[in-house]
Amino acid sequence: MSDSIRNFTESFLKDLEENENGFFKVENLDGLAYLTIFPAGKKGKDVEYREILKRLEVFKISEVSEDEVKRVLRSKDSQPHLIGKWPGKPEPSSLDLKISEDKMSVYGILHPPKFGGKLLTKEEIHSQLGSLGIVFGILEEAIGKLSQAEEYGKRTLIAEGEPPVPGKDGDIRILFQHPETPTLEEDEFGRVDFKNIQIIQSVKKNQKLAEKISPSPGKPGKNTKGEVLPFEEGKFAEWRLGPNVKISEDGNLVQSLIDGRPLIDRFGTIRVDEVCLLENVDFSTGNINFPGTIIVEESIADGFTLETDGSIIVKKSVGKVFLKAKGDIVLSGGFMGRNGGMIESGSDIYAKFIEQGKMIAKNSIFIEEAAMHSELIAGESVVVRGGRGEIIGGQCVAGKMITCTKLGAIVETKTILSCGMPPELLAELEDLKSEIRKNQEIIKKVDTSLQKLNDDSQRRSLTAEEKESLPKLQAIRQKYHSILENLYAQEQSAILSFDPDRNSFVEVEREIFPGVEINLGRNKKFSVKLKELPGPSFLYLGGDGQVAHSKVKPKRLGILQEESVETETSPD
């Protein structure tokens, strides 16, 4: 063994021993939750109490003994300790009631029983209403439907009064184009022109951006508790203004102070962004950090970063780059991340295609042609339509909806979709993925050392030091493989244990191929195994809480027609 290899191995082992961070795992053994905490190295970081609590909240561990958790944290003895119960006992159906602030309406949302629990009766629903003082305008037909559990997760009107007619509030009329969602119009061939989605506008200095509309009067009337209520006068709309705009002297108009890009956010704030127009981004420009809108006409060199409080617009395809914007990110071309680049938006992302890349959007991701072997995470929707509209390989997570033309590939490429994911779970998943990447790097370094030793052993006899390092490296490799397996399991548990949005769904216009797995919550998995499933397909949670497959969108998801609905978990 050469001195350089021996020094590398010794240095690597010492570095691992001293700098290894502490870690923990939570396991389900016969319905009980066990916590194991492993100590850090001399210079490593210990596990923190809040990290453990956060993981327990994700897994919904009940009857947690905080004292025991703290004791285990102090001991760090690498042994499993009982800390609580894993969820799983029978729970009856439940009804969430919400009374409007004006007491004119009462809405209820019925949640399904869990693990064999019973349904609510009419009498129990009446009793729950009575406990809130609701005695007038109760809708018996609605209560009957709730007691028969016709639909879960739907917001149902249970009681209503005779409302006063309030004065109509004033409003703000926007005088520039500002679609809340992109205009994805298809031509006669079913293609969408992503260069014409009407989200890139421009205005001149002093151009009018918005005007106020005055309120109108109303009339009086009566609430669910029999109280007579006067009508409210209509209110004047208030301006919400960002940078680079001004109000006219009479207060009724807003104008632009600069030539730039007009925007209105989801909170109604009007602003005009400065525009940074670049030909290329490379070593001549360096990384870009700009407060307004960044427009790149040509290319962005691999490894460069663009970051902005506004939006990013790129006219060409990009490679292994890092784009981060609080606003939209628009790629007229595609994104070839080569398993290294990342695009992150605080709003929406638009691209022609993505291959071996990662996209994260607070709102939605829109892709025209294909998403191939990539990771897509969206708080609301992932839409892959317009051209080929294919999702092939990788992982796709969305809070409300995933829709595409084709899903998977004829060669049975593993493709995983998770829909209805609560946004607060995304951050925890990112932490888990980061831990996974760190451990993969350690295993890679260990494998490199082992391979060098094995190669040397084929040419000569190993020295005593080399023979001594072999079992150490193998033990480290086994240890980190075990850690990695546990992290993979925790990642899947997190994805599969959430309570999904009951209005979430997956829509596939054409084929779903074998190798595809669709998750809509804990133990709610749909997979295609032996042959492709022809479209159209809608996958959602049915009335029984299980995955349902239909050729048309169900009533509660926005289409009146409903037929050919069947509950499935794994079609052949």
Alpha helix segments (H runs only) across 64-157 = 66-75, 122-131, 140-147
Percent of the chain scoring above 90 in pLDDT: 27
Q: Is the pLDDT of residue 352 over 90?
A: yes
Over residues 513-531, mean pLDDT = 84
CA quadruple 255, 258, 260, 264: dihedral sign: negative
Over residues 434-443, mean pLDDT = 84
Q: Is the pLDDT of residue 410 over 60?
A: yes
**In one letter, which amino acid is 115?**
F
Q: Which of 268-277, 337-346, 551-560 has the highest mean pLDDT?
A: 337-346
515-529 burial: b if 16+ Cβ within 10 Å, else e: bbbbbbbbebbbbbe
Name the pLDDT band for 515 (thresholds 50, 70, 90).
Answer: very high
Over residues 423-441, mean pLDDT = 77
Q: Note the pLDDT of residue 570.
A: 47
Percent of the chain scoring above 70 in pLDDT: 87
Q: Note the pLDDT of residue 563.
A: 38
Q: Is the pLDDT of residue 336 over 90?
A: yes
Q: Is the pLDDT of residue 369 over 80?
A: yes
> Under DSSP, is residue 100 helix (H, G, I), strand (E, B) or coil?
coil
Q: Note the pLDDT of residue 364.
A: 93
For residues 415 and 391, the answer to whether their CB atoms sit within 8 Å is yes
Q: Which of 18-22, 154-158, 349-353 has the highest mean pLDDT?
A: 349-353
Name the pLDDT band for 386 (thresholds 50, 70, 90).
Answer: confident
Name the pLDDT band for 185 (thresholds 50, 70, 90).
Answer: low
Lowest mean pLDDT among 4-8, 431-435, 442-446, 504-508: 4-8
Q: Is the pLDDT of residue 463 over 80?
A: no
For residues 489 and 28, the answer to whether their CB atoms sit within 8 Å is no
How many beta carbons lie within 10 A of that of residue 555, not counting itself? 12
Q: Note the pLDDT of residue 229.
A: 81
Residue 167: closest CA among 225, 213, 228? 213
Q: Note the pLDDT of residue 306.
A: 94
Name the pLDDT band for 2 (thresholds 50, 70, 90).
Answer: low
Give the pTM.
Answer: 0.54
Q: Is the pLDDT of residue 13 over 60?
A: yes
Task: Look up residue 284 and give its two tokens.
Answer: 């001549």
Q: Note the pLDDT of residue 415.
A: 94
Name the pLDDT band for 180 (thresholds 50, 70, 90).
Answer: low
Rounded to an integer, what distance in angstroms lies between the CA atom of residue 265 and that of residue 257? 18
Rounded to an integer, what distance in angstroms lies between the CA atom of residue 68 and that of residue 83? 6
Rounded to an integer, what distance in angstroms lies between the CA atom of residue 352 and that of residue 330? 9
**pLDDT mean across residues, the chain:** 83
Half-sphere exposure of 556 (CA within 13 A, CB side): 17
Residue 469: closest CA among 445, 441, 450? 450
Enumerate residues 6+ apart whose C-beta is below 8 A from 100.
106, 107
For residues 372 and 389, the answer to whether their CB atoms sit within 8 Å is no
Over residues 295-324, mean pLDDT = 92
pLDDT in tens, 66-103: 888 899 889 989 999 998 887 765 567 889 999 998 88
pLDDT in tens, 28-72: 676 678 899 998 888 888 889 888 888 888 777 778 888 888 998
Q: Note the pLDDT of residue 298.
A: 92
Q: Note the pLDDT of residue 389.
A: 92
Higher pLDDT: 239 or 274? It is: 239
Lowest mean pLDDT among 419-433, 526-540, 558-572: 558-572
Enumerate residues 6+ apart whose C-beta is below 8 A from 142.
108, 156, 157, 158
